[in-house]
Structures are given as C-alpha cells and as structure tokens.
Structure 1
Amino acid sequence: MAISDITDYAHLTEADVEALGVQFDAIRRDIEASLGEDDARYIRDAIRLQRFLETGGRALLFASWFPPAWFGGTALLGTAKIIENMELGHNVMHGQWDWMNDPEIHSSSWEWDIAGVSAHWKQTHNYIHHKYTNVLGLDDDVGYGLLRVTRDQRWRPWSVGNPVYNLLLQLFFEYGVALQHLELGKVTKGGVDRVEFVRRGREVLAKVGKQIAKDYVVYPALTGPAFPLTFTANLTANMIRNVWSNMVIFCGHFPDGAEKFTEAEVEDETQGQWYLRQMLGSANFEAGPVMEFLAGNLCYQIEHHLFPDLPSNRLREISVRVRALCERYDLPYTTGSLPVQYLKSWRTIAKLALPNKFLAATADDAPETASERKFTDPRPRIDPATGTRRGLETALRADAQV
C-alpha cells in the first residue's frame, strides 16, 4: 500500500530528514533575497507576449474563411491560452509574483481564462493539493475522484472506463477544474452542506457561462459571416490548451516514481518531512527553454512542489541545487523525457482499469505504487569500503535488477 513511514522508505534517519529540511529552507532564503528587476521584467514580458499572441490570433480569425488564416489564428490563440493558463494563471495565483505588489498580477485579483473559478482553484489546489500532496483521502488530485491511479484505490466495475475518462478529461480539462471544488462525490454521500454547494454551483455556472459567451458567441459574432469557422477555431484553441495542461500536470504527478502516501504520514509532520514528501511525490520531465515556458516551468514539478510560491523562472536554477541534495542523500530525482513520462502515466491509467488480481506486482512494489514494505531492511547504510551513503536511490536500482 502507499507509504506510511516516509523516513524508512527514504532510507534516512530523522536527523537526516531535518538536515535536509534546513538545506531546503536555505534555498528558499537565497532565492527570496535575490528577487529583483530581472524577475519582474520576465513576468511583464510574458504578459505582453501572451496578449500579443491572443490579439494576433483573434485578428487572423477575421479571415478564417481562408484556411491559412484559420490555422494560423487557431495556433496563435491556442498558444496564448496555454501561456495564460500555465505561465500566468497558475503561477500568479500561487502568489509567485505577490512580492512585486503589482495589483495586475497579484494572486488576490487574477481571474484566469478558463471555466474554473480562481477562488475555488486556490482552495483545492494551493491549499489542499500542495499541503496534502498525494495523500490518499486528503488530496483529491489523486485521480480527481474519477481515475484510478494507484492500487490503493479500490477497484470498482466503473474503473474499466479509466482510459475513456482520461481522454474526456484531457479534452475538457477546464471543466474538470471547474467541477472539482463542487466535490460531487461527497455531495452524493451527504458530505457537503447543501447551502454551500448551491453557492459554489452558482459561481461555477456564472464563470462557465461567461467563458462560453466570450469564446463561442461574442468573438465569433464579431467576425460576421465567418462565425462558424471562428467558433470551431475557438473550440480547437481551448482543446489545445486543455490537452497540453492535462499532459503537463499528469507528467508531474502520475509517472512511475511519483509516490502516494497514507494519512498516517502527515500526522505530526515536520517541515523536513513535508519537503521530503513533496520531492518523492512529484516528477519532472526534460524540456528546453521554449517547452519550459509553455509548461509554466512545471517541467520542474519537483521544485515547484518544494517551493510553490517562488517565481517559476527560478525553478531551473533551483533544480541544480535540488539534484545535488538528491545525490548527497542518495535519493531519486524522478525525471525523463516528456513522451516517456506521459506514456507512463497513460500506462498506469490503462492497466489500473483492471482489478488487482489481473496485475503482476503487488501494491507495495508496482511501478506506480511503492512503500517502505517493499524493502526488507530500509534503514540507511554506509558503504564500509567507500564511506558513501547507500540509500533509497541505490536500493531502488538494486530492486530493479532483481
């Protein structure tokens, strides 16, 4: 089952974990002390680029009856929506730019260009997901109440639809985000106050209605006879954004090595243990500068989970120090190419559509699920010949070779 003793699983002592926490705190202080005009220029340039692409895309769609204009306008608009969603909306609402005291890009005032309500998302994502990352029963992002992504989740007959649910979630991801805060699963069990549910529901309907009116009525109507073509261009651009956002998020949370945890693990959790859980519960993918930007720098999901409110443009720099700490403590740094990480996520979703009896590994040592019980002796050891640490990374490699 999921990890219930993260210190044992990580092959660290309690002193090691607290020392690791102190070093992560030092990274935070260093970055915060160095924030300045270069960082402010970065986010302002990102905003200008996003607005330029959106304006250019919508302008081209006035000639959407001309195929190159339709394709060009759709591509520009889809790219603009990706940037607004990933590099701007997600990161601004994390408070990454609040230190600038600029009301335009402050977490308290930003409303992003998707169907989800910003205030709802900040509760479900910033608070619940980032505080209880991958903790079963506390973090609704573990499958979003829809997908079975770990053997710790009970198999039910409707689980056979896992791949279909994921495909639909990809295409209409913004609506999944909009519905998440409504906690529909809890509503059916009477676990949500009815008055509160109605209030949230009205806010969701208002935001969804606004988005539908903007993208599928107002903007297409402005192009006159090209209305049907502009409508389909807007729909396509939104789906481009939805699929890309879903891909980036899934690559950060569901590939092999992004571990799950039990509620027992967060009882009396120290800051060092929290850092360790964030690191072991997340995964990165490799990207160049352009892909980094389009991913909102969430190709550095590990670093983002360690420091969710530090500016995204600094995550590459932070990753160098995080990797060094992983090497020092012999901890895994889970990363891979985007296609590999994404296919691993899909593989997990597809195979967990089946009951456990049809799966080969156990719930403690499957690629997508691990725990301290997979090791017979998880305690940290020092190689007597070299004096180097033999920890979790070494143990995982040895286990893979058996």
Structure 2
Amino acid sequence: MTEVAEYAHLSDADVEALGRSLDEIRRDVEASLGTADRAYIKRVIRLQRCLEIGSRLTIFGSRSKTGWTAGTVGLLVSKCIENMELGHNIIHGQWDWMNDPEIHSNTWEWDMVGPSSQWRHAHNYRHHVFTNVIGMDEDLGYGVLRVSRDQEWQPGHRWAPLWALLLSIVFEWGIALHDLATEQDHETSEEVKADLHRAMVRKMVRQASKDYLFFPALSGRRFFRTFLANLVAGGFRNGWAYIVIVCGHFADGAEKFTPEAVANETKSEWYLRQMLGTANFNAGPVMRLMSGSLCYQIEHHLFPDLPSNRLPEISGRVQALLAEYDLPYTTGPLTRQFWHTVRTICKLSLPDRFLIASSDDAPETASEEKFRTVAKEPRILPLHVVGTRRNGLSTAIAGRAQAMARTTRRPRAARFAALVALRFGA
C-alpha cells in the first residue's frame, strides 16, 4: 500500500480530524493517570514475584509428577507475565510517568536473554515508527519469514514454515540476535558494534546461567528435574510470545506498506497507518494479563507508551471512532488470527508463480489499486458532510466481497444450466 488515505477512503480533512480525535483520547487518559494505575502495576509485580517464588519452591520441594507439573505451569505463567505485562510494557515507558526508578524504561531489565536496551531501540523505534513498512520494519518477518507478496521471494523462503516453528520455540534467542543485528546495521563504528555484541553475550550467559545452572544447582541431586522445569516453562513462554506477536501483525487485515507511504507522513497519517497495519484478538481478563494486553495491538500501536491497564477503555473509544469513519476494526478469535498467520507463512514460502492473487488484493496484503478504476486513476474523495453516514473502507470491502461472490457463482450457474439443457433436451 502506497496511498494509505486513499485506501482508507478518507480525504485529507478526514485524516486530520481522525488524528485530532485520537490526540484527544491520549490527553484524556494522560490526565486521568494516578493512584489506581500505580496500584495496578505494583500489584502485578507482587503477583508475578510471588508466583515465581511459589512455583520454584514447589518444583524444588515436591517429589510427585503432579507437584512438578503444577510448579512448572506456575513458572510458565510467571514468565509470561514478566515478559509481556511487565517487561514489554515497562520498557515501552508506559510507567515512566510515575518517576519510580525501579519501574522505569531505562532501568528495568527483563527476564529474557536479550538486553532490554537493545530491544528498546529496535522495537520502540524501528518497529513502532515504521510498522509493517517493507524494508524499514525489520520485525516484518524477522528476516526469515515472508509475510507479504511485496517481499521478494528468495530460495530460502521455501523453508519458512520450518523456520517459523523453530523461531517459536527459541523466540527469545531469535529476538535477541535480531535486535543485535538491527542495532549493528545502523552503527558505523566497529567499536560500538563490538560493545553491542559483548552486551548481548553477557546477558545471554547471565540469563542462561540463572535458569539452567543456578536454580538447578540449588536442587542438588534433583538438578535435572529443576533444569527440565525451567526448560519447559521457558520454551512454552517463547511459543506464547511468538503467537501473540505474529497474530498482531501477520493476520489478515494487518496491512503492509511501501516506503513511499511514510514519506512526509503527518502524525494523523501515522495514526491511520497504525490502525490499518495491526490486528487484535479476542481475550478475557486472564489472557489479557498473560499477553500484556497485546490482544489490543491496535490500541497499543496508537498509544505505545500509555499503560496497558487502560487499553480496554481506550478500545471502546477507538472502536466508536472507527465506526464513525467506516473503518474496519480487525479482530477475531485467537485461533482464527493464528491460523491466518500460519496460512500466510506457508503460502508465501512458495514462488510467486504458484500464487493466484496479487499484492493488491490478497487476504494478507492489499493496496489502493483494488479500489481504483480501470484507468488506475486515484480516487478523488469529496468532503464529508457532517451528519451523514460515511461510505468508507468497511463498506467498500463488503461491497467488493459481494461482487466477487456473484462473479464466482455465475460460471457455476451457467454450467448447471448447460447440464440441465443437455439432459432434458432444452
């Protein structure tokens, strides 16, 4: 997608008005931050730490398989909360307004093998500013997965389904290496690159030693039992983090963009691109906590530094705003969203000659071209008349789907009529 506003069926005035409404949401939330929000993050930190301590003691003290399983599951939940609701969100700066040195983006070091400082730049800047922009967002496929037809097919992509499975198992290690490569690519000094590499190695050694040497060693003769519990909890935490992240960016409806789309981009246009380039999934309170509220990926990308506990209320206002501008709110069951990503990765592992749809109109990729006339001329959108309903992107997508369905049915109906005529001599 190159012309984002055109694809969204919005005029320049509409885009700016949309941006002002989103700025208002931000101001309202920032003005209301206070004691309840502070109590929330403190409560989650206590919960996570108590859960980790209790789980490790259960693994250490129990002698039954049931005790080991309960301790391992508890440790898994603890690691998911620390990674998603605490680490990811704190490093985003969501709690910097508290001026608490313990819960600050510059001081929090998460329970992952990659240094939080390297992730902070690669993720907070490169990914969130250039979300799903081909060639600019290094998180778009992580360099091993092809998730858009606009990404040139390479022979190595044929192994993408296998790489995706392996990446999900060792996700924290893959992200650490990916962030290091991203940081080094934007540095010219070899000394700085070496410092970044040493920092990553130190963190990897420290993290691996804690999980796979220190805690198992405390178990004495039951070393392997504790080692296995840490390995299982870490592996499933990696898989869960992978699922949450890919569902927010590679599911159908999370659009991809060309570099031209961000040239001279205004803040309002950035807002619009974030809403079109991300996807949510349905979640209850427990799954919301376990995912760090990234079930609200759209709202998180609009306001990445607003506290995660406020995203549910922000979601209601964002949905109302999208309905007003007739824009889709991309969400669905987690199983469906994940199936979309699996299908896309498997499908795009094949060379383009095996694909049917184009990058302008495919389930995982779309552009403004699919709404243009035969002459391929940009659509000239009139100013919206206040008080009237917009016929925007959601209406256009629904109308096009109906037209495609009618086109698909006609040949079948014609073949059926021919068979009837042949059978009865009509």
TM over 0.5: yes
Q: Secondary structure at the match of 2:286?
A: helix
Does residue 343 (structure 1) correspond to residue 339 (structure 2)? The answer is: yes
1:180 is displaced (CA, Å) by 1.3
Q: 1:160 to 1:64 in 2, by over 3 A?
A: farther
Instruction: Tell me what 1:95 maps to.
Output: 93
1:329 Cα deviation from its structure 2 partner: 0.5
Q: How does 1:217-296 map to 2 (within 5 A)?
A: 217-296=213-292
Change (3 A) 1:314 1:230: same
Root mean square deviation, CA, Å = 1.8
How far apart, in 2, do the equivalents of 1:171 and 1:328 lie? Answer: 41
TM-score (norm 1): 0.95
1:111 offset after TM fit, Å?
0.2
The counterpart of 2:355, out of the listed 352, 359, 371, is: 359
Please name the residue that 1:300 is paired with. Answer: 296
* 1:390 and 2:388 are equivalent in the alignment: no
Following TM superposition, by how much is the alpha carbon of 1:363 offset from its aligned partner in structure 2, in angstroms?
Answer: 1.1
Structure 1 residues 192, 166: CA separation in 2 closer, same or farther (over 3 Å shift)? farther
Q: Match for residue 116 of structure 2?
A: 118
Could you tell me how far 1:186 is from its partner in structure 2?
7.9
- Please state if 1:325 is matched with 2:321: yes
Q: How many residue pairs end up in the alignment?
A: 397
| Deviates most, 74-83 or 375-384 | 375-384
On the 8 A contact 1:65/1:226 being kept in 2, the answer is: no
Cα displacement string for residues 104-154 of structure 1 (whole angstroms, at most 9, x for unaligned residues): 111110000000110000000011111111111111010011111111111
Task: List structure 1 runs of 4+ shifted beyond 6 angstroms.
Answer: 184-187, 381-384
Indicate if the aligned counterparts of 1:178 and 1:204 stay in contact, CA closer than 8 A: yes
Deviations 1:238-282 (A, max 9, x none): 011101111111110000010111111111110100000011000
What is the aligned partner in structure 1 of residue 424 from structure 2?
none
Residue 338 of structure 2 aligns with an amino acid whose one-letter code is Y
SS at match of 2:203: helix
Q: 1:364 to 1:228 in 2, by over 3 A?
A: same
Shift in Å, 1:177: 1.4
Indicate the residue corresponding to 2:411 in structure 1.
none
The percentage of aligned residue pairs carrying the same residue is 55
Which position in structure 1 is the counterpart of 2:195? 199
Shift of 1:225: 1.1
Contact map agreement 2:280 2:296 (CA 8 A) in 1: yes
Q: Which runs of 5+ in 2 are unaligned?
A: 374-378, 405-426
**SS across alignment from 1:230:** helix
Taking structure 2 as the reference length, what is the TM-score of the superposition? 0.90
Tell me by how many angstroms 1:376 deviates: 1.9
Q: Which has the larger radius of gyration?
A: 2
Q: Tell me by how many angstroms 1:205 deviates.
A: 0.6
8 Å Cα contact 1:381/1:390 also seen in 2: no
Q: Distance in 1 between matches of 2:29 and 2:246?
A: 27
In 1, distance between residues paired with 2:187 and 2:195? Answer: 15
Match of 2:180, SS state, is coil
What's the CA shift for 1:61? 1.2
**AA matched with 2:222:** A
- Cα distance in 2 between the residues matched to 1:396 and 1:379: 18
**Long gaps (5+) in structure 1:** none
Q: Assess, with a 3 A threshold, how the Cα gap between structure 1 residues 375 and 320 changes in structure 2: closer, same or farther.
A: same
**What is the CA–CA distance in structure 2 between the aligned matches of 1:400 and 1:167, rounded to whole Å?**
33
**CA distance, structure 1, for counterparts of residue 304 and residue 69 of structure 2:** 36
Residues 342, 390 of structure 1: alpha-carbon distance in 2 compared, 3 angstrom cutoff: same
1:335 and 1:283 map into 2 onto residues whose CA distance is 6
Displacement of 1:382 in angstroms is 9.1
SS at the partner of 1:155? Answer: coil
Letter in 1 for 2:393: L
Structure 1 distance, partners of 2:345, 2:322, is 28
Which region of structure 1 is more displaced relative to structure 2, 57-66 or 75-84?
Answer: 57-66
* Cα shift at 1:380: 4.3
Question: Does the 8 A contact of 1:61 with 1:223 survive in 2?
Answer: no
Q: State the AA in 2 paired with 1:78.
A: L
**Deviation per CA, 1:63-98, whole angstroms, max 9, x where unpaired?**
354211110110010100000000000000111011
Q: Is the 8 A contact 2:149 2:348 kept in 1?
A: yes
Q: Which residue of 2 aligns with 1:135?
A: 133
- 260-269 vs 85-94, which deviates more? 260-269
Q: 1:371 aligns with which of 367, 374, 386?
A: 367
Is the counterpart of residue 177 in structure 1 residue 175 in structure 2? yes
2:102 to 101, 104, 110: 104
Q: Between the two structures, name the one with larger relative contact order (CA 8 Å, sep ≥ 6).
A: 1
Distance 1:227 1:326, change over 3 A: same
